[in-house]
Amino acid sequence: MTIKDLQDKKLIIFECISGSRAYGTNLPKSDTDIRGVFVLPEKDFYSLNYIPQISDTTNDTVYYELKRFIELLADNNPNILELLNAPEDCILQKHEIMNMILAKDFLTKKCEKTFAGYAYSQIHKARGLNKKIFNPVEQDRKTILHFCHIIQGNGSMPLLSWLEKKQLLQENCGLSAIPHFKDIYALFYDDNQNYKGISKKEEANDVLLSSIPKEQMPKTYLYFNKEGYSSYCKSYKEYWDWVEKRNAERYENTLSHGKNYDSKNLMHTLRLLDMAEEIATLQKVIVRRPNREYLLKVRQGEFSYQELLDEAEKRIENMENLYKKSALPEDVNKDKINQLLFEMRKVFYGNLE
């Protein structure tokens, strides 16, 4: 089933503009995100054809099946609570059965974890991006040979430097493990022996071991920093995966304001903390942000990273006390929610007959 199928069969019961345009923090080039709710045809709902979510290829437009929507509401998912409480000027269509859903039936103390917890994850995300931007990984991938050193007296020399100095080829080297010495090998060299060399593949994960004749004496000893190589491989993959998937506009914005952080992530961090506090004290979800100007200043990089980090962490520390005092229930009334879902389907399917 596609989005066009939902439209043609009139299965969409709610549709709105979400994201920055709903918050009021959009910029001229901001995407327009569409979110909505649909109801599966009765036959599909009762069969094995249940579909919880339908989206376009870019995920700019996403529709949730009614059951999935209610489940996420009951879990106090921030994006879904925002969808339910979308500003009037963002609502594109709304079926009358959506009026049966009351926001107050879903707001619970779990919002402390879902809103503030997600905000905290955004801090870590901003830190991670900061690290990637200012610690780039060279595109030419290193091999295990770059993590091997030759033991010389009281010191060591990089294997590649040692081979160059001695005018030797790694392909003619043979390694033999030394019992009780982790990642240290006896290195043998012979132009005429069929040794395996130290490595044959650029993306090999370990050095090669050769069969060494008993009478052969080692030329030297080699240490392979296996843990260092493993860590490098992980960092290399993470960095170049990020380069491939990163949002170019956001990346350039992060560089341009010169504050060395992902300002859009930190703007969302503070927005989520605002909303978490409002839910605890006012018991409602305010999507359109009253402090739009301040949030846009954050996005434009007008504050230092440490200033914003200190503010966010201070507010997170206070959040637990705020929710302890809150009149919000601990959880939703499951029986009431189940009855609501039953009644909504009954009305919708009845209207299709």
Each residue's pLDDT, cut to its tens digit, for the chain (353 residues) gives: 899 999 999 999 999 999 999 999 998 888 899 999 999 999 989 888 899 999 998 889 999 999 999 999 999 999 999 999 999 999 999 999 999 999 999 999 999 999 988 877 776 666 555 555 555 678 889 999 999 999 988 899 999 999 999 999 999 999 999 999 999 999 999 988 789 999 998 889 999 999 999 889 999 999 999 999 999 999 888 878 876 765 554 454 544 455 556 778 888 889 999 999 999 999 999 999 999 999 999 988 888 878 888 888 888 889 989 999 999 999 999 999 999 999 999 999 987 65
Residue 9 corresponds to which tokens in the numbers above? 């069969």
C-alpha–C-alpha distance, residues 67 and 37, integer Å: 9
Q: What pLDDT was estimated at residue 255?
A: 45
Q: pTM score, two decimals?
A: 0.65
Q: How many CA atoms lie within 13 A of 40 on its CB side?
A: 20
Q: What pLDDT was estimated at residue 227?
A: 95
Looking at 35-153, list the stretches that DSSP marks H as alpha helix, in order from N- to C-terminal side.
42-46, 66-74, 78-84, 111, 117-134
Q: What pLDDT was estimated at residue 103?
A: 92
Q: Quick one: which H or E segment has residue 315?
A: helix 305-325
What does each C-alpha distance from 21 to 29, 30, 34, 170, 246 come to in angstroms? Answer: 11, 8, 10, 60, 21
Give the number of other CB atoms < 10 A from CB of residue 341. 18
Helix (H, G, I), strand (E, B) or coil at 192: coil
Q: Quick one: which H or E segment has residue 94?
A: strand 91-94
Residue 122 corresponds to which tokens in the numbers above? 């955004």
What are the counts of helices (DSSP H) followed by strands (DSSP E) for the chain? Answer: 14, 10
Q: What pLDDT was estimated at residue 248?
A: 53
What does each C-alpha distance from 252 to 102, 239, 246, 258 come to in angstroms? Answer: 42, 16, 10, 10
Rg (CA), the chain: 29
Q: What pLDDT was estimated at residue 120?
A: 76
Q: What pLDDT was estimated at residue 252?
A: 47
**Domains assigned to the chain:** 1-106+332-353 (3.30.460), 109-136+247-328 (no CATH), 144-231 (no CATH)
Q: What pLDDT was estimated at residue 231?
A: 93
